[in-house]
A and B are shown apart, each in its own frame.
Chain A
Amino acid sequence: MAVDAGYEAALIDGASWWQQVKHITLPLLKPTVIIMFINSIGHILSTGSALYYYIPRNSGPLYDVTTTIDSYVFRSLVWGSNYAQSAAVSVFQSVVGCLLVLLTNTLVKRFSPGDELF
Chain B
Amino acid sequence: MKVITRNNRLFYRRNFTDNVPIGVKIFSYILITAFAITCLMPVLITISSSFTDEEALAINGYRLIPSKFSFDAYTYIFSNPKQVLRGFGVSVFSAVTTTILGVFIMSMFAYAITRPSFPWRKQFQFFGFLPSLLPGTAVATFIVYSQWYGLRDNIWVYVLIGAISMFNILILSTYFRTSIPHEVIESAQIDGAGELTTCFKIAFPMALPVMATIALFITVAQWNDVNTPLLYIVQRDDLVSLQLLLNRIEANINFLTQMESAGGISTADLAQEQKALPSEAFKMALTVIAILPMLVSYPFFQQYFISGMTVGSIK
Contact = CB atoms under 8 A, between A and B. Distances in A.
A16 B20 CA distance: 8
B314 A57 contact: no
Contacts, number: 72
Interface in A38-85: 38-39, 42-43, 45-46, 48-50, 57, 70, 73-74, 77, 83
Given A77-B142, A98-B134, A118 B126 contact: yes
Majority DSSP secondary structure for residues of A touching B: helix
A98 B313 CA distance: 25
Contacts of B19: 16-17
A91 interface: yes
Given A17-B20, A57-B254, A94 B14 contact: no
Nearest to B137: A90
A101 B140 CA distance: 20
B32 interface: no
Interface string B104-146: 0000000000000000000001100100111111111010000
Contact of B129 (A83, A98, A118): A118
Contacts of B133: 38-39, 42, 97, 101, 117
Contacts of A74: 138
Contacts of A117: 129, 133, 315
Interface string A13-39: 000111010000000000110010011
B226 interface: yes
B227 interface: yes
A77 B139 contact: yes
The number of chain B residues touching the other chain, given as a range, is 20 to 34
B138 A73 contact: yes
B16 A77 contact: no
A35 B315 CA distance: 8
Contact of B135 (A20, A35, A46, A77): A46
Interface in B41-62: none
B192 interface: no
Nearest to A90: B137
Contacts of B24: 17
B299 interface: no
A38 to B, nearest CB: 7
25 contacts: A11-B16, A11-B18, A17-B19, A17-B21, A20-B16, A31-B315, A32-B314, A35-B315, A39-B132, A39-B167, A43-B135, A45-B135, A46-B135, A49-B138, A49-B227, A73-B139, A77-B142, A83-B139, A87-B137, A90-B137, A93-B135, A94-B135, A97-B135, A101-B133, A118-B126
Interface of B: 14-16, 18-21, 24, 125-126, 129, 132-140, 142, 167, 226-227, 254, 258, 313-315
Given A42-B134, A77-B142, A101-B133, 20 more contacts: A11-B14, A16-B19, A17-B20, A31-B315, A32-B313, A39-B132, A49-B227, A57-B258, A77-B138, A86-B139, A87-B137, A87-B139, A87-B140, A90-B139, A94-B136, A94-B137, A97-B133, A101-B134, A115-B315, A117-B315
